[in-house]
Chains A and B, each alone.
Chain A
């Protein structure tokens, strides 16, 4: 069974840092492009970042560029999101989501993890 399990969320003060992880299982992680998508409380979905299977290509939303860094460790079947200089508007549930097929960018998301909540507040 394909599974994505996020962890690392929590309460952090403005300006602080946090590192999210996404543990993948049930598929050949190293073959798939991966993504982070977030959802502020009561709001819609916002794409955050994408990383190619070999980490050669990385993309960010303008709202997080320079503050959030996506990375992956294919040996550990894990995706990461390093979050620095956090702001109140970064408060959201962060989902990791897989590209649906290996090899090329399809850019829709299937499946999704269950999400981890990041709260930025003093």
Chain B
């Protein structure tokens, strides 16, 4: 099973600033990585797949990068609606499909 590790667990950021979230895989997943955003009481929403491809309707301030075992989600200028929990998920080697533990982006 591929273990996904996200850091930090919590990121405190002021609106208007940028944020960088990390995701590490226990073995290479190539570019087979997705990112999701989840707000309280809501279902997750797909942001990024293929490590760097924005899903339909996702603003350009969200960008993904990386391959192999190290990945990054960057939010260039945080807006109020971006404060949420973010999860990475690998789909390279399955079953099982595995998620990271999440990074909570909170208002500083």
Contacts and interface: CB of A to CB of B under 8 A. Distances in A.
Q: DSSP majority for the B interface? A: loop
Interface residues of A, number: 22
B44 interface: yes
A61 B55 CA distance: 26
B82 to A, nearest CB: 19
Interface in B67-108: 87, 89, 91, 94-102
Contacts of B32: 107
- Size bin of chain B's contact surface: 20 to 34
Helix, strand, loop or mixed for chain A's interface? loop
Given A45-B44, A108-B46, A60 B91 contact: no
Interface in A79-122: 95, 100, 106-115
Contacts of A35: 97
Interface of A: 35, 44-47, 50, 59-62, 95, 100, 106-115
Contact of A50 (B42, B49, B95): B95
A107 to B, nearest CB: 4
B49 A44 contact: no
B34 interface: yes
A45 B46 contact: no
B43 interface: yes
